[in-house]
Amino acid sequence: MGKKIGIYPGCCFQGADVHNYDILVAFLKNMDLEEVLLDRSACCGGGVIDETNKLIVYGLNARNIALAEEAGVDLYTPCNTCYMIIAKTKLALDSDPKLKEKINEILAEEGLEYKGTATIYHTLNLIRDFIGLEEYKSKLKRKIEGVKVAPYYGCHVLAPNEVALDDPENPTLLKEILEPLGVEIVDGYKNEYTCCGYHASYTNPQQKEQLAVKPLEGAKEAGADLVATPCPLCHKAMDGHDEPIIQVLQLINVACGMTPEEALFHYNKTPVNLAL
């Protein structure tokens, strides 16, 4: 078994979206990483608990990080939003000793302590910094050829700037992760960086629908067969339209030798067909 990594299972890895957890576990296995499931972790707040109180969001996520630190591992989540909110919390606590002290006082109720030692990973920086791009490439067993893929980052890995995982003005990391899979990259398309609208799903569903199709249509216009996103929420918002979209982890799992069925392609609403 390889290196240990703490898995933070946000809402998009349980209940209605439990298949995303299976996709994640398969990816870890393919990358020879050992999963340490943070099974007492709680919802990051999703930007909604902020509507109750920001301190609660800091507390919840300091606790999530503290659980990883207690287990002696870093924290990894493939969800853009979970990543952004947890990383924002880490920034806030690491730069404000008073806040950290206050939160730690409350965390002591559960015998936990936020130290600030764990790194927060998302798929993008996990592959770049934790696994390493060369090591990542060495795990790939076959090329997925004959398919034009449009990378779609989603918002929360590029903004706000303080937690961005790549140069927001010229990101290349997703391309560097997708290219070794053998696919042809189509980038620079219209609405490449337009939000998927997921977070308006309940507050204004019409708004969500207007936005979700824009990157898909832009990618298709530019000649892409498929859009690939690292974020399960973006995927959820954009899947089910005319143009197919897939999660980056699913594509990686196929390149690591799994069949599309094993990579759970059948849970995608819009069928994704790869000529393997």
Partner 1 sequence: MKKIKYIARIKRYNPDTKESYWQDFPVEVEDSLTVLELLMYIKDKIDGSLTFRAFCRSAICGSCAMVINGRAGLSCKIQAKDKIRNGVIRIEPLHHLPVVKDLVVDQEPAFDKFKKIKPYLVPDPKKVPDSLNSESLVTPEEFKLYDKQTDCILCMACYGSCNALEGEEKYLGPFQLTKAFRFIADSRDGVDIEERIKLVEDHGIWDCVQCQMCLAACPKGIKPAEDILELRRIAKDSGEDNPGTRRAKHWFADVFATGQIDKWHLPENAFGDEVGKEMTKQLEEEFRARGLKEEEFGPQPFDGIEQFQKFLKRLVKEAE
Contact residues toward partner 1 (CB under 8 A) are 11, 14-19, 39-43, 45-56, 59-60, 63, 84, 102, 106-107, 109-110, 155-156, 159-161, 167-170, 191, 193-195, 197-200, 202-204, 206-208, 210-211, 214
Q: How far is the CB of 142 from partner 1 (least distance, A)?
A: 28
* Peptide bond just before 160 cis, omega within 30 deg: yes
Please give the span between the terminal C-alpha atoms of the chain, in angstroms, as a whole number: 29
Q: To the nearest whole angstrom, how small is the minimum distance from the Cβ of residue 264 to partner 1? A: 11
Q: 25 or 43, CB closer to partner 1?
A: 43
Q: How far is the CB of 92 from partner 1 (least distance, A)?
A: 11
* CB closer to partner 1 out of 32 and 110: 110
Specify the residue for token string 């499931």: 37
Q: Smaller CB distance to partner 1: residue 47 or 132?
A: 47
User: Residue 146 CB, nearest distance to partner 1 (Å)?
Assistant: 28
Distance CA 41, CA 67 (A): 7
- Count the Cβ atoms, other than its own, within 10 Å of residue 135: 13
Dihedral (CA of 137, 141, 146, 147) sign: negative
Q: Select 197 or 260, whichever has its Cβ closest to partner 1.
A: 197
**Minimum distance, C-beta of residue 30 to partner 1, in the bound complex (Å):** 23
- Smallest Cα–Cα separation from 48: which of 82, 75, 7, 19? 82
Q: How distant, in Å, are the alpha carbons of 13, 54, 126, 127, 245 from that of 236?
A: 12, 26, 22, 23, 9
Select 161 or 242, whichever has its Cβ closest to partner 1.
Answer: 161
